[in-house]
Structure formats: C-alpha cells, structure tokens
Structure 1
C-alpha cells in the first residue's frame, strides 16, 4: 500500500532508520499499550500524547514520524497537532503492531539505562576512544536514543561515574556492555538490543577486526582501522571526535547495507580513441 502525504509505511521508515536524515520517531502509545510490549522502534523516543502542546516546541526544525499501537486516532491526532505547530509529521501506518508483524527490529527498554528527566539515556566509557567505543556510540545514537549522553572519563573512574550519574558503563572490563570472548562490545549491543540485522552484523565484523587486530576478518578492516586512528589524532576533544566518527560509521553502514557488490574502476581507454 502506498503511503499518503500524512503517513509512512514501515518499509520506508525502515530504510531511513540508522541514517542521519531519519526523522525523529515518537512513540505515543499509552502506558498500558507500552506495558503490553515494552520495546521501542529503533531510535524512538516516548512522549505522552496528552502533553503534546508542552513538548512540541522542542521539535521545531525537525521532521517526525508518530507511532501508536495500531496507527489510528492517537498517532493521527498527535501528528495533526504537530503539523498545526509547523512541524512536519507523518503517522506510521499500522503503528507498532504493523512494524512488529513485519519483523523489523525492536529495542527492549529494560536493557537500557534508566532515562533522565529529559528522557535521555546516559552512557560512560574510557576517554580517548578509537574503534569499539565510537562504533557503540554511533549505534546508540542512530538505533537506540538520538539524544543519548556520552561521558568519556579516565578508565579508573568509569564505574564510579556510572553509579553516581546513572550512566551505563560500556567497553570496560567486568561490566555488562563489554567484550565477550572474541567478540566486541558492538557485538554485545547488537545481540542484547535486538539489532542483529544483516547490515549491522556485517559492520560488526569490520569493527571486531579493527578493534582486535584481526585484519583477516574482512578486506575493509584495515581501512576502518586507519580512519579510526586518524580521527583519534585529529581531535583532542572526545565529543568532537565522536561527532566526526558518526559520519564515518554512517558511511560504513550504508556500504554494508547497500554497496557491498559495487566496484569502482578507472574508465578504460575507449576503442578507437
């Protein structure tokens, strides 16, 4: 079914999720509906439909997709209110249930750190990231929480900072979000967050190879490692490096999803030229 000017199909939204141009996905399910399936569309943030006038002002300049349980009056009403405020808003056709029925990924809320008063998750790891820490941060921003807070601190302070500020420690020893055997923290996040899609699994191979000195895992591994090490030397500020790293992983993700079969050769000499 083709979407209307005020709706979007789950297939089309799935192609946008994970890309920097993805609209903000708003989950406006009731508390009862959310309790029935406490999982989120990738990158979705929850908002109470009854408070739309209060939080709409924070969405100026963004386009959004609104999802309720079945894509009916709740999401249509919220989207209409947002359009009244000048915010481009579409409704996910069939809502959360149609997305689930199509087999698209859903992120379990219970696996995430407790959200702060602004609805954000917080994560903490070692300063001076190279590969896995940037890859994990990209995954969280693009597929889990677009407003996630990242704290980069000295290694000895990671767990204490996590406890004090309600942030989930990652990519350090003896924590939940870490390496498991020969697999990286990025692999762990894909498994635990229900995001093990073919493109992300392909990307995970590159991350694992670059992070654990395994260039044999894929021909692209040395390229990812070189770019990652170059970024770490270009930026003294970890958050600035993260912002640059987002673009790097955006590019590798699109290659993993859309371009693995494409080659590029210099045009040959035309016959008779």
Structure 2
C-alpha cells in the first residue's frame, strides 16, 4: 500500500518480524528468505525484518510467521515506533533503495532489448521481445505491490516498457471454448461461513464467490482471527486451521474453487488475480492485477465495516467475471 509523506511523518509505526530458523534443512532458510523478499520486507538485523504497519502487511507477516513455526522455527511479530538509532526516514530510504535497485535491473533489460530491436528488427526478434515484455511486466507488477513509498525508479520503467510495447504490439486471437460454472457441492449450501475481521482481497473474493455462486443467502460472520472456537455447522475460510484456507502456494479463493468443484475458466482467471494480490509472488502476472489491487485497497481504506467492503467490491468482481466470460466468447 503506497504511503505518502504525510502518513510517514504522522507517528509512523512499523511491524517487525523477529525470528530464528532451524539449521536444517537448508532449503527452508532460502524459502523463508524468498517469502520475505516477496512481501517487500527489509532486514533491519539478520533476524529482524520490517514492514510499514497496516492490516495487509500484518497479514503478510502472520502467514510467514506460520510458515516459520510449522517448519520448526521460532518467530514473533510486533508493532513498534522507532525512537532512537534508526529514524523513520532512514528506514523508508532502505525500502526505496531496495525497490530502486529492482527497478534498475528491469530498466537495464528493457534498454538492452530496445537496442537489440534497433540492431535486428526481425520478426523473430519481435516475437522474442513480446515474451520478454510479458516477463518484465510480471516482475514490475510484483514490485509495484511492495513499493510502499513510491520509489522514483518506477516511472522510468513504465516509460521504457510502454515504448517497447508500442514497437512489438500485435493483435491477439482468443480461441478458448466457453465453459459454464459447475454446480457447487451440495454440502456447502445453507452453511454458516466464518472468517477473520478486517477482510482484504482473499476474504473479500471468497465472500463474493460464496454469495454469487454457492449460496446467495449465505450468512457470513466476522470473528477474531485468534482464539475463535467454531460452532457445529460452521465453515471457516481464510483462517488458521480453517476448513477452507491457504494450502501450499494456493490462496483461500483457489482452495474454495477446488473444494466446490467449480471449473469455470472466468473464475480461474479471477483466482489468478486474487492469488497474485494476496501472496505477492507474481505467479500468474495478469495485466489486470495491479488495477484490481488498487481498487480493492481503496475500498478497504475507506470502509472499516467488513460487510461494506464486501458489498462495494462485489461489483468489481461481477464486472471482472463478465469481462473474462466475454473475452473467452
């Protein structure tokens, strides 16, 4: 979530993940390091990582904390204000430096690609450039999601990629066969759905899917994220130990689709967008992701009530669903 100077100066608060990892297996340390890089955290000390404090970044840290504990490590997440040693401006500069370095790598690739097209403007090179542009756009989307303070290098990248795209653009032909959404499993109808308060994209999207395709009259309850004891007949989603929640590298929306047997390609496309916004791993790199992320973030910022967040987001997902349906048609 992008933060302006006023927000930084007004009693900036930070989240810190303090952790200790087991010495073995070695790949686990690499896995956690990559997860921290993926959510945009920066190292203050070797075992202390920081993020600007908000509900979304707290959720990111909580998922990493769970991975660490499940892997045999120890971790704690705390919220704090910097008093001495490092200033808020210095920590912000660490974030900007990290993002500018990432942006500079893409800029170099874009300039090298443009030079190659200048030297050899063949059809083969243009085709190769298109595939490289897709990869660079995907990487840029990953970085934008964790560019918390608006590093200056992003503007340069946008201009370079736009110029390249103008040179290699061609019409795309869609030949996919439309598919109707399958009927959801009967056991999911008439149930009480439970999720954590303070819903964000994954829980918002799951709520839309439940009421749009599974049970239009579904009762969704919002409860504390920790310590909640489920009642008989309830289905918990996007909660620790929930019936429908993250599995492996899948977000809860993806797991809900699989659990209910829905295979509509339009819903699968939405799942890819939700995945990349929620997990910030850039796995699918859909061009719509950045815009949808901004729309959902705006709704979350202006509405504290969970039902209002879900209600106002419903039209976004309705239109997105129709867009993908028509695109396939």
SS in 2 for 1:105: coil
Residue among 64, 89, 106 paired with 2:183: 106
Q: In structure 2, what is the Cα distance between the partners aligned to 1:224 and 1:214?
A: 16
Q: Does the CA contact (< 8 Å) of 1:121 and 1:147 recur in 2?
A: no
With structure 2 as the length reference, what TM-score do the two structures score?
A: 0.43
Instruction: Compute the displacement of 1:121 (Å).
Output: 2.3
- Compared with structure 1, are the counterparts of its residues 219 and 104 closer, same or farther at alpha carbon in structure 2 (3 Å cutoff)? closer
Equivalent residue, structure 1, for 2:267: 200
Whether 1:126 and 2:193 are equivalent positions in the alignment is no
Considering fraction of residues, name the structure with more helix.
2
Whether 1:247 and 2:315 are equivalent positions in the alignment is yes
SS in 2 for 1:107: coil
Equivalent residue, structure 2, for 1:219: 287
Instruction: Compute the displacement of 1:260 (Å).
Output: 6.9
Q: In structure 2, what is the Cα distance between the partners aligned to 1:126 and 1:138?
A: 15
Cα RMSD (Å): 2.2
Q: Does the CA contact (< 8 Å) of 1:123 and 1:168 recur in 2?
A: yes
Q: In structure 2, what is the Cα distance between the partners aligned to 1:178 and 1:217?
A: 22
Whether 1:233 and 2:310 are equivalent positions in the alignment is no
With structure 1 as the length reference, what TM-score do the two structures score?
A: 0.51
Whether 1:172 and 2:239 are equivalent positions in the alignment is yes
Q: In structure 2, what is the Cα distance between the partners aligned to 1:104 and 1:206?
A: 18
Alignment of 1:79-98 (within 5 A): none
Q: In structure 1, what is the Cα distance between the partners aligned to 2:181 and 2:246?
A: 26
Q: Does the CA contact (< 8 Å) of 2:193 and 2:237 recur in 1?
A: yes
SS in 2 for 1:163: coil
Alignment of 1:1-273 (within 5 A): 105-110=182-187, 112=188, 120-158=190-228, 160=229, 162-163=230-231, 166-215=233-282, 217-259=285-327
Q: In structure 2, what is the Cα distance between the partners aligned to 1:139 and 1:183?
A: 16
Q: Does the CA contact (< 8 Å) of 1:177 and 1:188 recur in 2?
A: yes
Q: Does the CA contact (< 8 Å) of 2:197 and 2:306 recur in 1?
A: yes
Q: In structure 2, what is the Cα distance between the partners aligned to 1:198 and 1:169?
A: 25
Cα shift readout 1:211-263 (whole Å, capped 9, x = no counterpart): 111346211111111111111111111111111111111111112211479xx
Q: In structure 2, what is the Cα distance between the partners aligned to 1:146 and 1:163?
A: 21
Instruction: Compute the displacement of 1:103 (Å).
Output: 7.8
Larger radius of gyration: 2
Instruction: Compute the displacement of 1:175 (Å).
Output: 2.2
Q: In structure 1, what is the Cα distance between the partners aligned to 2:180 and 2:305?
A: 39
Q: Does the CA contact (< 8 Å) of 1:126 and 1:153 recur in 2?
A: yes
- Compared with structure 1, are the counterparts of its residues 212 and 103 closer, same or farther at alpha carbon in structure 2 (3 Å cutoff)? closer
Q: In structure 1, what is the Cα distance between the partners aligned to 2:297 and 2:213?
A: 24
Note the residue ranges of structure 1 that are not aligned, 5 or more in a row.
Answer: 1-101, 262-273
Q: In structure 1, what is the Cα distance between the partners aligned to 2:323 and 2:292?
A: 12
Cα shift readout 1:166-185 (whole Å, capped 9, x = no counterpart): 32110012222011111111
Q: In structure 1, what is the Cα distance between the partners aligned to 2:235 and 2:201?
A: 18
